Structure 1
Amino acid sequence: MNKFFVIAALGTIPELRYTPSGTAVLDLLLAGERHIVGHDGQERRLPFYIRAEAMGKIAENLNERNYQQGDVLLIDGTAEYAEWNDRNIENAKATTVRLKPIGTVRKLEGAFQVTQDNGNNTRLMGGVNRVELVGNLAADVEVNDTPNGSVATLRLAVNEKYKTREGQMVEKTHWFRVSVWREQAEAMRGVKKGTAVYVQGALSDDDWKDDQGRDRRSKIIEAESVAVVAPFSGSARPQSQPARAPTRSAQNGPARPTQQQRAPSPQGVTGPDLPPEEQDLPF
């Protein structure tokens, strides 16, 4: 299972481009806010910024709709992992998770409240950011005890099969990092590599420092619900491992944020979150 459902405002005007092989790609920036109740019972608003990427005929059809900055869209799709060589850091990989529209895409009508952030992006003051995944753990679960409660970061492999333009069936593995806190983290203690796991949560930015102290950013799923689907049976083991962030201190904040957790910087949505445009697409 790989489902990604978003309701958010277009932060900027969508941009259509073409890869060297002629594939149309439509880039969209979706911006909204999650309204949650923290572990301390306080209500909070957490801004989110999600890149969506439509390809081929879907991209060209969506471009003809002439969506504008500030339009509120409902998009039904999948979460897509991407990795490439970081152009700013030698021998380093940059990664991201994007929304790939595959189902409904439509503009919602209504008197929506929006705001402008410091980067002149339009953001919906509300919205939906929901990811549902079923995949296999790429490593044994390790649970750490912190002053904010137990925490675990799951590494989840979700396989996708698709047909190329030449008619060849290809299998691709999407790699996701999932943050799990407190009681749900404890429930995952001791779960082994290869176990099938269900995750429901929201896509969020994760800021961290690498071994050289440089600021980095990647995407993480903040789990709201997680459950073991089936124990590892000795088959369907992931074939390779993704680029991944170094282990970070678990005291930066829970999935249900404390007051110390910061909202993502809107300027960060145009930085290393995007791969080189000249890179061709695998499909």
Structure 2
Amino acid sequence: MARGMNHVYLVGALARDPELRYTAGGVAVCEVTVAGEDLVIGSDGRERRLPWYHRVSLMGKPAESVAEQYKAGDAVMVEGSLEYRAWETPEGQKRSAVNIKGLRVEGVQRSDELVRDAGGGVRLPNGLNHAVLVGNLTRDPELRYTPGGDAVLGVGLAVNESWKGRDGNWQERTHWLDVTLWRELAEATAQLKKGDPLMVLGRVTNESWTDREGNKRISTKVEATRVEALTRGPSAPGGAVTTPAASRGAYGNAPAAAKAAGSRSSGLDIDEGLHDFPPEEDLPF
């Protein structure tokens, strides 16, 4: 498996005041909603500003520090990662979610006038919403086309993470992430196979949907703007080998973002479904 890479960078405004709580074990947890706008080019060549709202979780001392230092409307930079978690509810139902784990928050000096949304929150125009991932495809890509003729490809990416635990031993876990690719980028990536290593650059999006029980859920994905197919194993003598998919699809724009499910965020819809937390023992420490 490729050595994992998992980075998220956001520059936006706090849509509302930070929310600080404590677990039963006394660990501080701070939730902030960072909001901004992405500038994308549509299939018609027109520029569109797509609003985004991302929930970021911090734990421990950093959580308390953020809650004390920042308030709604403050412009911030967030460095973090996408974190996959799976758990079982008391009723025996299996649940999973992808969240943004905050590692660092800094204030940003911006003179932009904030945009106020219908839900009473604010967001920062000309924000930054950027993800960088390296992982392995979890299945063979299946290319499909929209009624309008746009190629679209949804792939699963397994991103591994390793760290040294409190006992000094190395531990590993895998984050199962969903990536969406459009048009030429989708067609170029479709020839890859399950297990192939892939580097993805893109924007984090949220997709709302309703489960079989009628509950509203939110799926967090990455909409790719560029991909690089990586080599398996050691590089050949003379340098890295670029696969045809990488040479054909290394550069890409996400022009269909205006139509994508992830562009439908408005107000503070991100709040829906956020109270279904995993058990405390599954929280990172």
Counterpart residue number, 2:230: 229
The separation in 2 between residues aligned to 1:12 and 1:58, in whole angstroms, is 18
Question: Mapping of 1:81-96 within 5 angstroms?
Answer: 81-85=84-88, 91-96=93-98
Counterpart residue number, 2:221: 220
Amino acid at match of 2:22: Y
The separation in 2 between residues aligned to 1:260 and 1:138, in whole angstroms, is 22
Counterpart residue number, 1:7: 11
Give TM-score, length-normalised by structure 2: 0.80
Counterpart residue number, 2:195: 194
Counterpart residue number, 2:71: 68
Counterpart residue number, 2:250: none
Relative to structure 1, is the Cα distance of residues 205 and 259 closer, same or farther in structure 2, using a 3 angstrom cutoff?
Answer: closer
Contact conserved, 2:37 with 2:52, CA < 8 A, in 1? yes
Counterpart residue number, 2:103: 102
Among residues 19, 24, 28, which one is paired with 2:28 in the alignment? 24
Say if 2:224 is the partner of 1:185: no
SS in 1 for 2:123: strand
The separation in 1 between residues aligned to 2:82 and 2:30, in whole angstroms, is 16
Tell me the CA shift for residue 124 of structure 1.
1.2
SS in 1 for 2:17: coil
Relative to structure 1, is the Cα distance of residues 260 and 157 closer, same or farther in structure 2, using a 3 angstrom cutoff?
Answer: closer
Contact conserved, 1:218 with 1:273, CA < 8 A, in 2? no
Question: Mapping of 1:1-283 within 5 angstroms?
Answer: 1-64=5-68, 66-85=69-88, 91-98=93-100, 100-103=101-104, 105-146=105-146, 147-210=148-211, 216-231=217-232, 255-258=256-259, 263-276=264-277, 279-280=280-281, 281-283=283-285
Q: Which moved more, 1:156-165 or 1:23-32?
A: 156-165
Tell me the CA shift for residue 182 of structure 1.
1.0
Relative to structure 1, is the Cα distance of residues 278 and 174 closer, same or farther in structure 2, using a 3 angstrom cutoff?
Answer: closer
Relative to structure 1, is the Cα distance of residues 93 and 165 closer, same or farther in structure 2, using a 3 angstrom cutoff?
Answer: same
Unaligned stretches of 5+ residues in structure 1: 234-252
Q: Which has the higher helix share?
A: 2
The separation in 2 between residues aligned to 1:20 and 1:137, in whole angstroms, is 38
The separation in 2 between residues aligned to 1:259 and 1:184, in whole angstroms, is 15
The separation in 2 between residues aligned to 1:141 and 1:259, in whole angstroms, is 18
Give TM-score, length-normalised by structure 1: 0.81
Relative to structure 1, is the Cα distance of residues 260 and 69 closer, same or farther in structure 2, using a 3 angstrom cutoff?
Answer: closer
